[in-house]
Structure formats: structure tokens, C-alpha cells
């Protein structure tokens, strides 16, 4: 009788662990879907936005990314990533700017332009544009970042592919990149190929 109870408890525990993993994956997938219209901008000096972040971002995009002035950039919201603290270390890097666009096509145009330009500068400092990923996906990408750097040193192209809940791969390569024209193999979630 005690063995039957222990077996039932083990089955229930296995089910709950499996369910927890599935729910965590679903939550992460939903977070990434909600962030699809978001872009993170890194290394923009603190305070350069003045009082209106959305207006500053529109001006910044037209100026540094050379996006046509006719492009209607609709921003739902824009803000720095972490709350400002008065005792913040002045030598700390500037907080990221998170921009949420109303139109995904404009967001895609903006990030494609930033990636195709290579180096983007603002106030004589290099700034970076990237997708806004969930914290869980960000941790996974950080784990393989060192490996990707080592592969690039060996002249091997490697980027992390983002697997969606349905198993589709997206974000494996930047649109318009030379690697998009070459054939690739996928191995362990990272795209590899010779440069």
C-alpha cells in the first residue's frame, strides 16, 4: 500500500515538473511575442533625450540611421531600461533605451538599417541596436556568446537562431546579409557557415 502511494506521488511529481517546464516555455514564448515591436538601443548617453524620449528617438533615427524623412515613425512608448537612482555610479554605462513601435514594418526597417550600416554613432560615441528579448532568452544567448565569438575569430559565421513555441526558427541571420545568400547548416540552435 505504501509503495502504491509512493508511485502515485512520483507520477504526480513527474507530471508537475513536466507541466512546469511547458508553462515556463509558454510564458517565455509569450514574452518574446509581446516584445516583437521593441528595440533596445545601447550606449546612448544619459540625459541626451531631454524631457521627451519619443521625440528624441524619432529625431535620432532620422539623423543617425538615415531613414527617409517621409517614413512615419509611430512610437507607442520609449524609456530607459532601469529606474534612475540618484546615487548611480557616474562611471556606469548608460541605461538601455527600450522603444516600442506601433508598426512592426517600421521597426524592422529601423533595425535592418542599423545592422546594414555596421557602425552607428551619436555624439561621437558608437551606439548599438538590437531586438528586445525576454530575460530567459537573453540568458540563453549570453551562454553561447563566448562560443560565437570564438567561431568568428576562426572565420566561421555563427548566430543564434530563436526557436518559437511552434518550433519555427527566426532571427538566425540578419536580412540582407551576405550569409543570407549562402547555404547554411543548423547545429545546436546556432547557424554556422564560412564567411
Question: For the chain, what is the HEC assignment?
Answer: CHHHHHHHHHHHHHHHHHHHHHHHHHHHHHHHHHCCCEEEEECCCCCCCCCCHHHHHHHHHHHHCCCCCCCCCCEEEEEECCCCCCCCCCCCCCCCEEEEECCHHHHHHHHHHHHHHCCEEECCEEEEEEECCCHHHHHHHHHHHHHHHHHHHCCEEEEECEECCCCCEECCCCCCCHHHHCCCEEECCEEEEEC
pTM over the 0.85 mark: no
188 backbone dihedrals φ, ψ, rounded to 5°: 65, 30
pLDDT at position 194 is: 43
pLDDT at position 160 is: 64
Q: In what order do the strands lie in the sheet with 185-187?
A: 156-160, 190-194, 185-187
| Under-70 pLDDT residues of the chain | 84, 86, 159-195
pLDDT at position 189 is: 44
Ranges in the chain annotated CATH 3.30.70.1820: 36-131
Superfamily designation of domain 36-131: L1 transposable element, RRM domain (3.30.70.1820)
* Angle at 31 (CA atoms; ends 39, 51), nearest 5 degrees: 40
pLDDT at position 129 is: 92
- Measured CA to CA, the distance from residue 92 to residue 100 in angstroms comes to 25
Amino acid at each position: 500500500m505504501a509503495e502504491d502511494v509512493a508511485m502515485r506521488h512520483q507520477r504526480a511529481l513527474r507530471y508537475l515538473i513536466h507541466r512546469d517546464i511547458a508553462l515556463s516555455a509558454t510564458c517565455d514564448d509569450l514574452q518574446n511575442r509581446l516584445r516583437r515591436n521593441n528595440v533596445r538601443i545601447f550606449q546612448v548617453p544619459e540625459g541626451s533625450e531631454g524631457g521627451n524620449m519619443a521625440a528624441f528617438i524619432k529625431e535620432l533615427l532620422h539623423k543617425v540611421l538615415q531613414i527617409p524623412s517621409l517614413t512615419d515613425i509611430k512610437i507607442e512608448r520609449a524609456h530607459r531600461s532601469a529606474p534612475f537612482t540618484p546615487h548611480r555610479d557616474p562611471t556606469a554605462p548608460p541605461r538601455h533605451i527600450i522603444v516600442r513601435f506601433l508598426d512592426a514594418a517600421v521597426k524592422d526597417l529601423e533595425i535592418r538599417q542599423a545592422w546594414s550600416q555596421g557602425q552607428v554613432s551619436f555624439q561621437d560615441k558608437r551606439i548599438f541596436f538590437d531586438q528586445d528579448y525576454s530575460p530567459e532568452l537573453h540568458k540563453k544567448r549570453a551562454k553561447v556568446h563566448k562560443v560565437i565569438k570564438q567561431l568568428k575569430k576562426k572565420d566561421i559565421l555563427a548566430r543564434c537562431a530563436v526557436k518559437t513555441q511552434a518550433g519555427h526558427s527566426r532571427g538566425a541571420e540578419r536580412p540582407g546579409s551576405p550569409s543570407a545568400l549562402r547555404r547554411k547548416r543548423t547545429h545546436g540552435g546556432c547557424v554556422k557557415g564560412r564567411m
